[in-house]
Structure 1
Amino acid sequence: MAQTHEWMFYEVMWRSWAGRAQVPYPVPWWTQQAFRRWSDDFDSGTYESKEAALASNALYRYWHMVGVKDHRQESLIGQAGEIEPVYDKYCLSFFLYDPATGALHLPQLTDGGTVCQRMEAPHLPVVLTEFRTPDGVEFVQRTFATAIGARQRDLVVTRLTVGTATGQPREGWLCAAVMPAGPSGFQRHDRNGRRITDRRLTFLRHLPEENRVETNSGWGPVFDTAPEQYGVYGNPEFSFDPDSYLAHSPFHDLVMGGKLNGARQAQDQVAGLCSAAFAWPFRVVDDEMFELDVRLPVDLYSGAADLAEIRATPAAELEEGNRAFWTAKLLGQGVQPQLPRPVGHLTDLFREARSQLLILSDHGEIHPGPTVYDSFWIRDSSVEATACSLVGDAALAERQLGTHYPLKFNRGTGRIGPCAEYGFYGGPHERDDREWDSNGQALWAIGRLDRTLGRGAAFGTKLYTPYVVDGARWLRDNRDQYGLLHSGWSAEHLGERDKPHYWDDLWALAGLYEAARLAERIGSPDVPELWAAFDDVKRATAASVRWVLDEQRRRGAWETYIPTGPADAGRLDSTMIGTAAFFHPLRLHMGSKLGPDIDRAARFTLDTMYTHFVAGGYRHEAAWNAYGPYLTTQLAHAYLLAGDPVRMDALLGWIVGAAFPRTQERAVALGAWNEQHAFTIASDFHEVPSRHWYMGDIPHGWAAAEYLLLLRDILLFEADEDRDPHLYIAPGVRPHWVPDGDTVEVESAPTLFGEPFGYRLTHDAGDRTVAVELTRAPERVRYVYPCRFGRVRAASADGRQLTVSGDDVHIPAGTRHFTVTYA
């Protein structure tokens, strides 16, 4: 049964949407999508009612994000420019009002106007919202987050300019609205009693003497310019009639009476739907502009001194400081891939993904998302930290793995289900959901970062005892009777939590491999013990996979595939995506770590997945009933490493498109991915599933990390770091990416060899020649150039002819320049 506030929110949204012709109301984009194709088939396993599901925004979790690098709180930006500080209980939006005609123009309901949104630049987390009314009045809203004062506390600044698109004189009011519901929803209240997102506004007050707003017990917006009119609205009669909220609102008063009620405060103890509006008259003509700056405190502030600090720095100076910081960080530091014009957008998206991970880092912990995923997972963070270390943000990776991982290392003597507590990596997520993959991920990430930082940093040495060796012993000692990791729910895309999943065992192998190699590098006496543990997990995993393959053949299966786990023999569904990890990120095919027959089966599994579950992107109907953006990126990466750049490129095209979805000519995302991409949004409602689907967070940190790793490995990746170290140059660069005379360039990219690498590749289409200059080259590392332009005819290195066999050109260590001629 719906709670009162959930029912009231549902009714107010629906009635305002259905009756919007009389009095427009700022219905959020996600609510409009729900009403656009309503279904009573909500997720009854999670929510008690359709109203609770709607109020939680269970289906359309799309928005934009701004934030400060390495700080705790992000702010979300809606499709009409609404600003929602994640942990504050209000949402701020803007609209236009014409007092001469009584016309109300809301960006949420364009009614013949237009709304355009974009990031100011790929390296600048600044969201621009442009709204133009049918009669040519327009405002441009620039929203960014910054840090102020000696304590560097967070502040969101939104700057608005109002002008005329036609040059003709225009008059009106620029208005701001403070509302409870934001881009993320109204209140997430599930059957477990969790109120993760509770944006009810039960008390709202305007303080004209301080020119700011109070929202419940927190600070709301602070205006640089005092409004000429204001009004605060609540439910003073404790009415349970939804229509009372529509009749007693700032939008109703403006349309019907041309003014706001002038009240300073209000309360609503029934539904928490207090609202307020503020108005600034303007007159613009030609190039004249009306300007307004508003500041949103999104940190802990109190008292007159803090208010003075918020106002101390001019907004223009804050904006310029924000621009200078991100420009220096993303254009001046870290990996700077230079790609030709046909694929220049890949570099732009690379920089956006970097900024998202930096913003999602909370004091060194990279979190997978800004709202429901705003906490620390070993699984997600292992990939995120590795991505950061390989694109030039190694300090963040070092802090995460060196400081925060030890804090998740359990030292107790109890039990976590069937497993020992001591030696297990994990906090509440990993412990409660039996996420047995976490130890392998922690060991793998620590080992990879130790390689990247180099021997001089001694990163792995510092963590070896107890965090590496005892974490490895936990993997050795906590397995079932078949030698596999126990049943659990390491990742919800794998299937049921009451079954074992090969995903856990593959991660265990990769983690044990890195632990043993680290032990070798530091000269530990534990080397034989760790290799024995690796060999035992290898034996058990390979034996189980072979049994499953044999069993499927016995049942008559003609396609080869490795299912999600041994309890799922014969299960041909999208949960088999876990096998993509065999290639990426774990590289278990390199050195044939599980045997050549398992390698072949894993490659066939990629093809089986592609045939059955790829329709542009990876359709994960078995668990999510949605597309999987980071799963699609993993699959693309697996194909890159498996030597199929054509399918990699096809998947990459979908990945890029999924970062910029549109529906009804509205930008839904601006270079970011959800954990799940809804079929409805991906198809602009041409495909509406017959059952509910799942939605995670956006931007999804794991997805951003996967994109960074994919583009980086398209440009270069390492192989056989321990025996025959070599590096692949431009292995994923497609011929149509590099027109005649164009170049591909990477400068000083961190590598797993502990030394940076850089090169410049130039294509001469007339001579059918590729020339590569190595600008930074690790010592004692040879190179492989897989020529994608055509069959290799000849190659030379530093003027010496090379023996050519196939299209993989092998270049000796120490080379500084090589050329390849193709047919």
Structure 2
Amino acid sequence: MQAGDDGASWRTLWSARQAEGPRHYVYLPGGGRSRRLRLLLQAPAAGSSGFAIASLRVEPYEFSRSLHDFFHAVAAHERRGLHPRWLYRTQTYWTPVGVEGGATAAIVNEEGMVEPDRASFSLEPFLFADGELVTWADADVSQSLAQSWLPIPSSHWRWRDLALTTTAFASGGADACARVRYRVENTGAAPVRVRLFAAVRPFQVTPPWQSFQGMGGTSPISDLAWNAGAVYVNGRKVVIPLDEPSGFGAAAFEQGGALRHLARGELPRSAQVHDEFAHASGALCWDLELAARSARAVEVAVPFGERAPDFCDSEALCRSARAISLESTARAWEQKLGAVSIRLGAAAECVDALRTAAAHVLVNRDRAALQPGPRRYTRSWIRDGATMAAALLRMGCSAEVRDFVRWYAPYQAADGNVPCAVDRNGADWLPEHDSHGQLAFTVAEYWRLTGDRALAAELWPAVLAATRYLEQLRAQRLGPEFRAPERRACYGVLPESASHEGYLAHPVHAYWDDFWALRGLGDAADLAQMLGDEPEAKRLSALRDALGECLYASIEATIADRKLPYVPGSVEWADFDPAATATALVTTDAVRRLPEAALRYSYDEYLAGFRRRRNGEIDWNNYTAYEIRIIGALVRLGRREDAHELLDFFLSDRRPRVWNQWPEISWRDPRSPGHLGDVPHSWIGAEYVLAVLGMLAYESPDDGSLVLAAGVSDAWLDGGGVEVAGLPTWWGPLGYRLRRDGPRALRLDLSPGLREPPGGVVVRPPLPGALAGVTGDGVVRFDAHSATLRSGAASIVLSY
């Protein structure tokens, strides 16, 4: 295709040496202008007897505005289902599969499209039966997880009497692989012949509105070749069929791609292709003869990373992959997350989501780095990492937390500054003053829940340096100028930062930073005490108390100066941020020290807005499931029913529900093509883990008590009650069973092995009326709402 203005001189815009098929789409980006356009037809493609033009259509500029716009346009001209869902500008959701502690993860979307490595090509299934090509758009599509919670996802298609299940998982060892199992079942009474295709396509699972550093949208494929029992993509990435295929074929984009052939139930003629446009495609196929009510499964493996053909032994890789089955992978995950046992009556779905969320934290790791997502958020923030570490510790996964904090701490600057984030490019030094307290919190929480004094001693210099950096920061707001009435709210707190995304454009004095500093200083004092450094423990305790006095005075000043009915999130903006305030309530003594009326208004107002949004009474576009952390705040505030109202909503709004996950951004229309952040968002998943476990038990930083059942609902007591075993706490593993004992009593059986908390064990069960009596050994006292026990109590009965 050539352009010119005078009819004599021409410039080439596009050319094709392999053109074939009934239709061609020509990508002409750049918006160039010319008076004339011509097609210069030189010779038929190899294997073709000739060529002719049936029609020619000149599209507007938007057709090729960008490469992604071009493929959106191509999809719009083709039958729906021949392309991934996102090419029709509708949202799709994905979930990760990976080797626990690996360097990357594969992802699979709802329709069974698998991206076997970060930003790689995809494998997409198709069936050919009864003379028709069956796509995701033709089938009834659903999803599942193995055992309802394992990070082994499946996509299910139902079409007439055929069922296709695409299951993705990962096998570890020296040859770690993404694995895809395709199972085709004939549910009918007659035998059928089916051709299964696994197409290799130049599209990622994540859409272009997720674009970041090469992730999202298309994925170049310049070369495809079948060689020694494997498919090589760009000469570096290998796809190994573990079950011998019936064939493989590949085609360049200018040849119409592989889908043109698959639509007829055929493979492209060539087993090798080079595509100058870098959007080749191909397909493996298996011809299946299925008797009535029978099934057959085939598998492919894609080793993580790149391998050149000269250095790749596909037969050895095949043997290595076959040695690790789907069933053994499932058993390994069961064992990994089996340390803590929880049963919540009939609320099994709640527990399943808890386990999956913890598994997603593990899958999303990049070796030691805890990352909040498998694609867009493949970097490690200490803010996210502190919460994910806390969740892992509570689920019995301590080694991963040890590795994370030991890996992160050396990125600390010489002056004690803890970077907000670290990735493969190094540390990010955006000023986010929550990071220093979060490092101290993570080290202390690891020590409290594991008893590992050695790691605490190893990292004590980093913790101490972080506290001294906090002291330097705070000193910037202790000058006499901050005692002036107009600046009094800034006195003695940390200076401005951008630790909240909403503060990036205008850094502010964020109370989020101060509360994390408050918690970190207290944790550092406890570490110093444990390590025998009494003078340092006293100094840090005094520093914590001084910050606390200034912090609460600042909040009250901001409330008074701005005439606020709620607890603000910052000095300058006086913003309403109940999700940020929730972290303060869960991690510090804020429940007791924040103004009661403002605190009550904050959550009354939040819940009123939440209900209007949930009920469709207001117009809204999206929300973020960070709000899950408010569940924990409501439990600490004694608002059990409100906490369960939120829990029920967030469980109902998982996307997709059976994959037990939340994106960072949830759009009102789940199919709206809007940026999701990443999914599953492991920080949000960790917040869910901590919120639900906090409903069962939490340590009160205010009085040193261990509080049980403060978030247990009456409904959870149905179906046998609540059972907890092996749950890590500051005073050892916790086990208890809470169940009904007649019409007006509850029975609590407390397992042995718990050390005595300073404030005792406080039981706050769901009661329809005031607590009238408590019987059993170890009862210290009780009031209308709770009973305080010694840790050695075995069984008590609470009557109302």
Provide the residue aligned with 1:486 in structure 2.
495
Q: Within 1, Cα distance between the matches of 2:369 and 2:422?
A: 15
Percent sequence identity over aligned pairs:
23
Contact 1:89–1:216 at 8 Å: present in 2 too? no
Q: In the alignment, does 2:483 pair up with 1:505?
A: no
Provide the residue aligned with 2:676 in structure 1.
695
Q: In the alignment, does 2:151 pair up with 1:125?
A: yes
SS at match of 1:756: strand
CA drift at 1:6: 6.9
SS at match of 1:461: helix
SS at match of 2:66: helix
Change (3 A) 1:495 1:627: farther
Q: In the alignment, does 2:570 pair up with 1:565?
A: yes
- Give the TM-score normalised by structure 1: 0.81
SS at match of 1:446: helix
Q: In the alignment, does 2:426 pair up with 1:370?
A: no
Provide the residue aligned with 1:250 in structure 2.
258
Change (3 A) 1:289 1:806: closer
Aligned partner letter, 1:672: Q
Provide the residue aligned with 2:392 in structure 1.
388
Provide the residue aligned with 1:588 in structure 2.
589
Q: In the alignment, does 2:309 pair up with 1:291?
A: no
Contact 2:93–2:656 at 8 Å: present in 1 too? no
Change (3 A) 1:613 1:367: same
CA drift at 1:589: 2.3
SS at match of 1:213: strand
Aligned partner letter, 2:599: A
Contact 2:149–2:660 at 8 Å: present in 1 too? no
Residues 651-662 of structure 1 correspond to what in structure 2 (within 5 A)? Answer: 651-661=646-656
Return the match for 1:710 from 691, 703, 710: 691
Aligned partner letter, 2:70: E
CA drift at 1:197: 4.4
Change (3 A) 1:349 1:204: same
Q: Within 1, Cα distance between the matches of 2:503 and 2:675?
A: 14
CA drift at 1:711: 1.5
Aligned partner letter, 2:364: L
Return the match for 1:163 from 185, 198, 211: 185
Provide the residue aligned with 1:609 in structure 2.
606
Provide the residue aligned with 1:767 in structure 2.
743
CA drift at 1:206: 2.1
Provide the residue aligned with 2:409 in structure 1.
406
Equivalenced residue count is 719
Provide the residue aligned with 2:83 in structure 1.
27
Provide the residue aligned with 1:105 in structure 2.
134
CA drift at 1:120: 1.6
Change (3 A) 1:16 1:423: closer
Q: Within 1, Cα distance between the matches of 2:154 and 2:219?
A: 27
Contact 1:17–1:27 at 8 Å: present in 2 too? no
CA drift at 1:442: 0.9
Contact 1:772–1:819 at 8 Å: present in 2 too? yes
Contact 2:552–2:594 at 8 Å: present in 1 too? no
Q: Within 2, Cα distance between the matches of 1:286 and 1:7?
A: 48
List runs of 5+ in structure 2 lacking aligned partners. Answer: 1-27, 32-63, 478-489
CA drift at 1:123: 4.2
CA drift at 1:616: 6.3
Q: Within 2, Cα distance between the matches of 1:397 and 1:731?
A: 27
List runs of 5+ in structure 1 lacking aligned partners. Answer: 36-59, 237-246, 412-420, 663-668, 686-691
Aligned partner letter, 2:568: P
**Structure showing greater Rg:** 2
Contact 1:293–1:315 at 8 Å: present in 2 too? no
Q: Within 2, Cα distance between the matches of 1:625 and 1:167?
A: 48
Return the match for 1:13 from 60, 72, 78: 72
Provide the residue aligned with 2:763 in structure 1.
785
Return the match for 2:552 from 542, 545, 549: 542
What CA deviation, in whole Å up to 9, does each residue of 1:531-561 have, x standing for no partner?
A: 33223322332232122111222xxx5xx11
Return the match for 2:164 from 139, 144, 151: 139
SS at match of 2:154: strand
Provide the residue aligned with 1:523 in structure 2.
532
Return the match for 2:355 from 329, 346, 351: 351
Q: Within 2, Cα distance between the matches of 1:291 and 1:673?
A: 31
What CA deviation, in whole Å up to 9, does each residue of 1:754-804 have, x standing for no partner?
A: x2121111213x432111111134232322111313223433343588754
Provide the residue aligned with 1:451 in structure 2.
448
Return the match for 1:752 from 730, 749, 761: 730
Provide the residue aligned with 2:5 in structure 1.
none
The range that moved more, 221-230 or 811-820, is 221-230
Contact 1:203–1:265 at 8 Å: present in 2 too? no
CA drift at 1:126: 1.7
Provide the residue aligned with 2:214 in structure 1.
195
CA drift at 1:426: 4.1
Provide the residue aligned with 2:332 in structure 1.
325
Aligned partner letter, 1:450: W
CA drift at 1:368: 0.7
Provide the residue aligned with 1:810 in structure 2.
788
SS at match of 1:639: helix
What CA deviation, in whole Å up to 9, does each residue of 1:165-186 have, x standing for no partner?
A: 2121212311111111132135
CA drift at 1:820: 0.5
Contact 2:210–2:675 at 8 Å: present in 1 too? no
SS at match of 2:267: coil
What CA deviation, in whole Å up to 9, does each residue of 1:303-332 have, x standing for no partner?
A: 46642331114648522321221122223x
CA drift at 1:576: 5.0
CA drift at 1:399: 1.9
Provide the residue aligned with 2:58 in structure 1.
none
CA drift at 1:428: 5.2
Contact 1:487–1:500 at 8 Å: present in 2 too? yes
What CA deviation, in whole Å up to 9, does each residue of 1:180-229 have, x standing for no partner?
A: 11321359657xxx43447422413222x412222224223211344334
Change (3 A) 1:695 1:252: same
Contact 2:116–2:304 at 8 Å: present in 1 too? yes
Aligned partner letter, 2:748: V
Q: Within 1, Cα distance between the matches of 2:211 and 2:321?
A: 40
Q: Within 1, Cα distance between the matches of 2:119 and 2:231?
A: 12
Q: CA RMSD in A?
A: 2.9
Aligned partner letter, 2:343: Q
Q: Within 1, Cα distance between the matches of 2:211 and 2:149?
A: 36
